[in-house]
A and B are shown apart, each in its own frame.
Chain A
Amino acid sequence: MSRARLRPAAGGSAAPAAEPPRAARPRRDLRRPLVLTGLVALVGGLFLATIAAGSVTIPVPEVVAVLLGRPPEVPAWGTIVTDVRLPRATTALLAGAALGVGGLQMQTLFRNPLADPFILGISAGASLGVAFVVLLVGTAGTSLVAGLGPLGNVGVAGAAAVGAGVTIAAVLLVSRRVTSPATVLIIGLMAGYATSAVVSVLIHTGIGRLERIRAYIAWGFGSFAGTTWSELAVLAPCVAAGLVLAGAMTKQLNALLLGDRYAASMGLRVRRARLLVIAGASLLAGATTAFCGPIAFVGVAAPHMARGLLRTSDHRVLVGASGLAGAVVALVAGLVAQVPGSDATLPLNAVTSLIGAPVVVAILLRMRRAGQGVTA
């Protein structure tokens, strides 16, 4: 009804003689499928490489054989692949996708190209939740959730998600009063300091047992190797739910690109959308942090990679592409951290920081040059 009303009759157009209608979506048609296919292939290759590489190198055909359920040449490889390497690779894949998509959501929500779970202190909030559960509830053992009983994984993940959600809400409240992206960064840093202060109080007063504290500190370095199938049973559904939520919110996220007021004027219920985005991002960041530790910079780098490759801000492709780009970054970082061919390992956060810190600096420099490209 409204459509017929508004458009002028064929003859009288408000425009100078209309050009012949062109194809609705020119040019970009090829780039998107190419980039997305390339990313999927890259993720697949890196996934196999992650399983193949390690202290014992397993040939890729054998890895494929094990994954397809056939017996490998060396029987021990079967156990290594299914019990150690497959969970590790799956964790890296899920964590990377979660951080990439979570970072994209936060960059749009905060209208800040530097927003990411780690930078904004969301990971720190999640850490605090983990610290409370691990240091106060845990009993004995050196693995993070040892002695927490069968519900330990869920408890840790839940505490991390709550910690993440509370921090996002707090940072969002403050960031609505300041406009500069750099100031929001500093606020995120402060949130991080505050949470580590609470953790150090917990540790210093001797509330936690020594081995719990050691487990907590080791967890803080970040790792994809600490998860087994029982942890994945919690991590995977959380990440899946968060990704589905993000995928269902692409329309709202696109509207938020223009800012809250424009979004509201086009019919978006901004409060509800913001709440859903916060819930989804908390779930993604919280679950990942709970099982892999606070992982730096994957969340900020992945969306920028996706935008750079696709040359678009359209969330209908960016959500998928950011997830894939995040998985690529996480798998590469995981591979490097395992130092293939040796028994040594590097702290995961050291690797991601070395990749991510230059990205952040590059974004800051570009922002200075081109005004403030919030989402560029």
Chain B
Amino acid sequence: MPQLIRRFRASRPGDPSHVPRIAGSGATHALAWTLGIAVPVVFVGVFFAWPVASIVGRGLFPEGAFDLAGVLEVLGRPRTQRIIGFTIGMAALATLITLVLGMPVAAALSRLRFRGRTVLRAVVLVPFVLPTVVVGIAFRALLRETPLDGTFVAILMALVFFNIAVVARTVGASWESLDPRQEEAARVLGAGPVRVFATITLRRLGPSIAAAASVVFLFCSTAFGTVLVLGGARYATIETEIWLLTTQFLDLRAASVLSIAQLVVIVALLVVTGRIRAKATPEKRSFAPRPPRRHDLPLIAVAVAVGALLVVPLVALVERSLRTRDGYGFGNYLALASTGDRHALAVTAWQALGNSLGFAAAATGVAMLVGLTAAVLLSRTPRSPGARRALDALDGVLMLPLGVSAVTVGFGFLITLNTPPLDLRTSPILVPIAQALVAVPLVVRTLLPVLRSVGSRMRDAAATLGAPPWRVLLTIDLGMSARAALAATGLAFTVALGEFGATTFLSRPDAATLPVIIYRLMGLPGGDNAGMAVAASVVLAAVTVAVVALVERTRVNQVGAF
């Protein structure tokens, strides 16, 4: 560690070979770097790497020795190979479709000012927070009469539905900071829109597209409920298989082999996208959206069409929430003040919403602290190759929680966080921590392209002019990325609000979150429980839209303040 810090110091932006040494003592820098590195490393180390390594270790080292024969036996099973292949293929295809459909939305939302933009912005994000159990059932209710029910296509549709938001948000944030004059110049010089897009825009957006693609891929490859419900339990992925092996068969060896497969997939993915992500071009500021022109019409049309596709299942949900035993009405919503039919719940849906908001706020705080620290660190390009490699590794490690099974992490918690002062197995504090684990990579992916684009020259200039490092950090890095930081905050809050997998593993009935009680209500027969579950989902979606709208509003004020 000390060696690492020294390398960072020698290679910080104000490198002595270019800039005279300025304010701030060496000790303070070392401390700042140590803290900066410690925050994300300790967080991911304690709450992710250690638990996962322990549970995987139990599977691979059953008697304390590495069980090579066992591992090879699991890998040799045709079922294992088929599942790994299917998972990668499914996730890749879903990612591709999500990108193709999400890019026009990102473009329209970030570059154009048109009526309904705010609505579209919110609509895109709604699916992201809806519980899989409810969306799965809404989708199936729509597809039940069609030949698509229980097919691979139905799974793909739902995966795309859930993940459009990631592309729209991540790519959109970086699109906003692209100087449109380059494209305009090319247009003036006679290049067609397709050529301009392919040769200029796409190239400049490369890093954020790669970032979005890797996040979507990881979400898709670890989808659980979506694959089961829409595929009629006919398709097995690495994630569903780990669940089956761990919770039903207690076959830790096979589960560990599949967890390793997940890790290999993530690392391969990061290596592939890392090359693209590294090629960030310096950009300087955010550009306000402009009114649409005639040639934007196809773009708007596609964006609105995608928005409409997202809306169909949502409308079906709202319709279902208003349907009661005595015809249409607000009965299901009124029931949210109760604990459900025949004591279905320990708390009312409104209390659960309160719990959700509290946990999500705490998770967002943690995710922003860890994610922002990590993003600032990762945006630096140290001169020393060793330090660069260390940063790349940290970048990868932060992405791991997105691609590793919630079951693996949850069972890992059980066997590691079991001795004071870290006896947290039964503590509600694990809920926001688990939510933050999933949110941190999104925060980093949203902030990093923007922070990288700030460019070291501006930091160097500020430092040369005598600004102390904290001031450089505050005014240059954070100042320039304020918009992206707000977008990241909204995204983190949204993820935390909708998180189900880890939350259900950790939450307690008296502090249940809204997605957890929705799941419980969907699991009980008769009466109004199902209607109440759908109404609660609509409330969850509405709260998300409200939160996002609030963040957007703050954004506007923020721009005025600069």
Chain B binds chain A: no
